[in-house]
Chains A and B, each alone.
Chain A
């Protein structure tokens, strides 16, 4: 294990922020109680929402599959405790839109009876093929636990790229949040085990852990867990927000920049969060699906900030109650940290796979948003931008809603870290503008797609109507033609009868020329009589033809 020798590259911009982390790291991670109701959203990840495979009234056991993945970019959802499904309906979920979303609601029975899982624990994961490993990770419902929630099995597939370096993101740079820090202190062996499984799945040559230099205890715990083996390198990066941004960390550790709007995989790098590594360990080694996660409950509105293992689907209300937060004092509840988090209107929303922190602010500490002043183009925002963008230019075009121009300034590379917001002397909510611009552009794209579809459908309809018209006319013409022909067809049998009769007559006529068989060896008298008869017949025929 080499730690001191590694060169750390310095990413552009960033900020030194007050950490506020120590207030929640004094206690060990505590187990949150099983709530009376579990509210499990079907969409806790990026991609298609899972499809429920249980019905209202079904009894479910802990770890039972309750919603199947729908498509490639999707993961299943499991019951985090045993009980009865009481509703499948729209409920409040943690989302900046505050919109309700489809959830499976389970009334827990408190017994927490586990199901006999399909997968048993497995000490030697090397016996599995990488596809089987990914399938297990998918079936366990694991998504990136750092906050974005991208299905992890997809990030463990090299897709034809050669993976040079697997990076474990242990930076956790945002103020107040300490769930990864505490997890590393207490579960370092599981994290390292999960990391090795991921390395195996990706066939990654190198393995690095990037950790901010303020996490001394976590660093020591990881070092102990790695022991003497030299396959994993721990690199301490300076504490500077946003050191834990995926692209920033990749640059800090390797000096390489992931392509704009591309994936780090394209430059042979894959980055995962420490929480994800622990979840992978649980899924593969213990055979457990993702049922709980560590959540930081912190802020001035929580009497004793702490970290807790929380069952997914636990309503945030239950956690606040457990922490004895005084409801009347709560000024604002946020999901995530103060920089990248969002305000939650209703605390009935549950903890999901991506809920890393519940930040509760006492009402005396809630600052009213200051009135924004005009941009003075000081350029402070560009100095702190970790992506090297020009936020003042982006703001200019977002403000005037010139969405074509804003993309020329690489709007979609913005990671919404909020550094520009903090330094802006005019207090312009820059990130709000960028989010507004991004989602509006996406909406325009969807509208264009929809109108293209409508155009096509309209054209196809016109074509169909034209075709139907022609077909109708043809049908009509055919019927007309058929009507004309019909009288001729009626005469046909008569004609045929006449023809047949004439044919018979002709045959009869030809028969007369055939000599009868008993005309041999005739005497003179007989021959005379025959000749007379023939002469008569000829005469008759002549008369007939002549008449």
Chain B
């Protein structure tokens, strides 16, 4: 009886040490599923999913607190990719979260009207607006994700949505099926 207790205790201590060591040695800083989900999201950080950014939304999906159809900028492609990753059913985009934009957009500031209030700078989730108090602001277009979060705070309505510019080097050949060459 006494030997059995000692043996079991010894085994318990050994396993405890092994598990404790493994927990430290192979520590995972963040949930890898969250990282995978986050990688599929478009990173516009627009908050249309009702979460404050893409990563919080990814965490909510991983925890089962949110559906996979709440990301309008990602559209159907993101929904399909998320469904593939998580083994869930494909859902249509939730209209409550917004609509898919027809073309990618960015914003521009009408620099004549801008009064330099810095409100848009505080709203921009990716620090893509350059300016200072009482100085004219401008958008760093290359970094603009088209989230449109800077538009509501602007007191003088000097921020406009414009389609993202296509240059010849970034131009895409049209899909033959959409350009009048039907394949049945």
Contacts and interface: CB of A to CB of B under 8 A. Distances in A.
Nearest to B166: A99
A291 B145 CA distance: 42
Contact of B54 (A429, A443, A455): A455
B153 interface: no
Given A429-B176, A457-B127, A461-B127, A374 B184 contact: yes
A452 interface: yes
Interface string A80-98: 0000000000000101110
A439 B170 CA distance: 8
Interface of A: 43, 93, 95-97, 99, 101, 369, 371-374, 399, 428-429, 432-433, 435-436, 438-440, 442-443, 446-447, 450-455, 457-458, 460-461, 464
B63 interface: no
B175 A436 contact: yes
Nearest to A432: B176
B57 to A, nearest CB: 12
Contacts of B167: 99, 101
B171 A455 contact: no
B173 A457 contact: no
A476 B167 CA distance: 50
A355 to B, nearest CB: 15
B45 interface: yes
A457 B54 contact: no
Interface in B96-148: 125-128, 143, 145
A451 B43 CA distance: 5
Contacts of B126: 454, 457-458, 461
B171 A99 contact: yes
Interface in B141-184: 143, 145, 166-177, 179, 181-184
Nearest to B44: A454
Secondary structure class of chain B's binding surface, majority of residues: loop
Interface residues of B, number: 32
A10 B128 CA distance: 56
Contacts of B170: 443, 446
A141 to B, nearest CB: 19
A399 B183 contact: yes
- Most chain A CB inside 10 Å of its own CB: which residue of B53, B126, B128, B176: B176
A435 B170 CA distance: 13
A452 B43 contact: yes
A526 B22 CA distance: 99
Contacts of A374: 183-184
Contacts of A447: 42
A353 B183 CA distance: 37
19 contacts: A43-B168, A96-B173, A99-B166, A101-B167, A372-B176, A373-B183, A374-B183, A374-B184, A433-B176, A436-B172, A436-B176, A453-B143, A454-B43, A455-B43, A455-B55, A457-B128, A458-B43, A458-B54, A460-B127
B53 A458 contact: yes
Of listed A373, A443, A455, A464, residue having the most chain B CB within 10 A? A455
A171 to B, nearest CB: 26
Contacts of A99: 166-168, 171
Contacts of A95: 168, 171
B183 A97 contact: no
Nearest to B126: A457
A355 B179 CA distance: 26
Contacts of A372: 176, 181-183
Given A453-B143, A454-B145, A428 B183 contact: yes
B182 A371 contact: yes
A97 B174 CA distance: 9
A374 B166 CA distance: 33
Contacts of A453: 143
Contacts of A371: 181-182
